A and B are shown apart, each in its own frame.
Chain A
Amino acid sequence: QSVLTQPPSASGTPGQRVTISCSGSSSNIGSNYVYWYQQLPGTAPKLLIYRNNQRPSGVPDRFSGSKSGTSASLAISGLRSEDEADYYCAAWDDSHVVFGGGTKLTVL
């Protein structure tokens, strides 16, 4: 069981907006930043969002992050086929990093 809880799957059609949730507790999301990673099939993960809602250089503004209390969300607008991947949230928790279990996004 992962410390951060994500839905195992999500789906959407091209052009649609989808959101992926990440639920934690006061010791992780509630008191620290949230990070999001995208893992395309057969590749290493890639940083999508850092410090709740900041995008690294090169990440399209279709990707956005938010946080409220002990939960966070990743939103993808204008969904594209190449967005089909696994998405993971992460946060600091009492001297170590915890990941969510991951959400497999399918573009229908």
Chain B
Amino acid sequence: QLQLQESGPGLVKPSETLSLTCTVSGGSISSGSYSWGWIRQPPGKGLEWIGSMFYSGTTYYNPSLKSRVTMSVDTSKNQFSLKLSSVTAADTAVYYCASGVADFERIDYWGQGTLVTVSS
């Protein structure tokens, strides 16, 4: 049973880069069985998929965010991370790290979510 925990600043200034880390426990991030990804949810709104990847390197991003998103893996710490550049107030949201089996659309495990506010 995987457990995921997000960490990172809760407040980011406009035009800066949002950086979040997800720590994985209960399983290895280098396992080829799981996908690793990020989903966000603006306050009071629906879910938006940011991107997902397999440890093998296969990575997909939301086309609407692709130019600003970078995802990476740190196997030594069993963590994966998200960087979103040039943020604006529209990027204010609860950010979830997530993992699933086989399909990117299948998300079996979710972090508790972390609210990131973009404001000066």
**Chain A interface residues toward B at CB < 8 A:** 2, 32-33, 35, 37, 39, 44-47, 50-51, 56, 86, 88, 90-92, 95-102
Contact = CB atoms under 8 A, between A and B. Distances in A.
B108 A97 contact: no
A50 B104 CA distance: 11
B110 interface: yes
Give the secondary structure class of A's interface: strand
B47 A45 contact: yes
B110 A96 contact: no
Interface of B: 39, 46-49, 51-52, 60-63, 96, 100, 103-108, 110-113
B105 A44 contact: no
Contacts of A101: 46
Nearest to B110: A44
28 contacts: A32-B105, A35-B103, A35-B105, A35-B107, A37-B47, A37-B107, A39-B47, A44-B96, A44-B111, A45-B47, A47-B107, A51-B103, A90-B49, A90-B105, A91-B105, A92-B103, A92-B104, A95-B63, A96-B51, A96-B61, A97-B60, A97-B62, A99-B46, A99-B48, A99-B49, A100-B46, A102-B46, A102-B47
